[in-house]
């Protein structure tokens, strides 16, 4: 038997129905399908057109319901709900509280995490700690984003990159070999200007210095994976799959190269969904699981970088 750790029991996702391909942007921006594909690897993204005021919570609740169903439990079996998001429906109540309400849960420990694209990794770290400490018995972790509400649709540097979506996982305490083996998190607030979304004032759209973000991503993401592997006492040869944050195909490729992992082990689906921020890793996790690539004892490394600048990684055995 292993030491106590949090184990991912199930995963569920939710996406808006509308799909925008690259040709959509050719109609009004100085761009093309080839230009977007070559620089980002993105072909399509899901966008919630005319979203309701509670769109984020709706997406998060739908992903959560699917994860709960797969786990064979109901929402009332959960005592903690964590929502990672940088596009909440409002400042308060939290998106997690609204999701809890939509799921019919009262009395749960529910709160949001704001770590941008690193939110799922940060949330996983928190869920692991809550379960190991005994504070929580079962955690529902959700990454949910409606980024389309936050971008300037005339800014070619951002609007092409992002999509809307949500992913959720159910975590329980395990004393087997399966579970979160290690996690690393990182924040450097001095780099906050590189990727931000202001709350007050006129600049209320997502702003990004793409070149600088790329440079930090291809350095910090591999660094966090190496630190997590060292903590878990494994090497890259022990990692069966790498699920990086799906921001950009070039970043994903470079992170894999820096780590020296076989490209066939690197999960990539940014071409279909674009960057859904905190939702990219659970969305990719579900696709990989459904494809039969995750079995007993499969070891996965996840890593992300987001506004903050935030970064993190985790090693998970299934």
Q: Read off the pLDDT of residues 103-123 as tens digits, 9 standing for 90 and up.
A: 999 999 999 999 999 999 999
**245 included as an active-site residue:** yes
Active site residue 83: no
Please report the pLDDT score of residue 158 as a whole number.
94
Q: What percent of the chain has a predicted confidence (pLDDT) above 90?
A: 95
Q: Catalytic pick from 117, 128, 159, 248?
A: 117
* The one catalytic residue among 56, 128, 248, 275: 275
pLDDT in tens, 44-92: 999 999 999 999 999 999 999 999 999 999 999 999 999 999 999 999 9
Q: Tokens standing for 45?
A: 């993204």
Catalytic residue among 128, 159, 245, 248: 245
Is 205 tagged catalytic?
Answer: no
CA distances from 299 to 27, 146, 215, 302, 316 (A): 44, 30, 27, 10, 6
Using pLDDT thresholds of 50, 70 and 90, give the confidence band for residue 175: confident
> Can you give the pTM of this predicted structure?
0.96
* 3-class secondary structure per residue, 223-271: HHHHHHHHHHCCCHHHCCEEEECCCCHHHHHHHHHHHCCCHHHECCCHH
> What pLDDT score does 202 carry?
67
């Amino acid at each position: 038997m292993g030491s106590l750790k949090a184990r991912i029991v199930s995963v569920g996702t939710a996406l808006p129905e509308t799909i925008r391909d690259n040709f959509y942007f050719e109609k009004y921006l100085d761009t093309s399908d080839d230009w977007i594909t070559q620089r980002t690897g993105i072909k399509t993204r899901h966008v919630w057109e005319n979203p309701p005021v509670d769109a984020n919570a709706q997406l998060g609740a739908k992903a959560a319901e699917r994860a709960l169903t797969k786990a064979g439990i109901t929402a009332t079996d959960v005592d903690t709900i964590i929502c990672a998001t940088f596009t909440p429906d409002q400042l308060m109540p939290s998106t997690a509280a609204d999701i809890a309400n939509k799921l019919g849960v009262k009395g749960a420990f529910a709160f949001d995490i704001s770590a941008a694209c690193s939110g799922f990794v940060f949330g996983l770290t928190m869920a692991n700690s809550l379960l190991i400490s005994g504070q929580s018995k079962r955690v529902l972790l959700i990454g949910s984003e409606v980024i389309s509400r936050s971008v300037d649709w005339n800014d070619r540097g951002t609007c092409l990159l992002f999509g809307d979506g949500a992913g959720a996982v159910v975590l329980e305490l395990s004393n087997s070999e399966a579970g979160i083996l290690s996690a690393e998190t990182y924040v450097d607030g001095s780099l906050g200007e590189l990727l931000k979304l202001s709350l007050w004032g006129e600049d209320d759209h997502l702003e990004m210095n793409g070149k600088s973000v790329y440079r930090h991503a291809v350095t910090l993401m591999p660094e966090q994976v190496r630190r997590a592997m060292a903590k878990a006492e494994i090497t890259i040869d022990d990692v069966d799959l790498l699920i990086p944050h799906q921001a950009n195909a070039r970043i994903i490729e470079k992170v894999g190269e820096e780590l020296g992992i076989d490209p066939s082990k690197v999960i990539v689906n940014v071409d279909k969904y674009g960057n859904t921020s905190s939702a990219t890793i659970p969305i990719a996790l579900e696709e990989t699981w459904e494809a039969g690539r995750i079995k007993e004892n499969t070891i996965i490394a996840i890593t992300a970088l987001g506004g903050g600048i935030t970064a993190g990684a985790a090693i998970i055995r299934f």
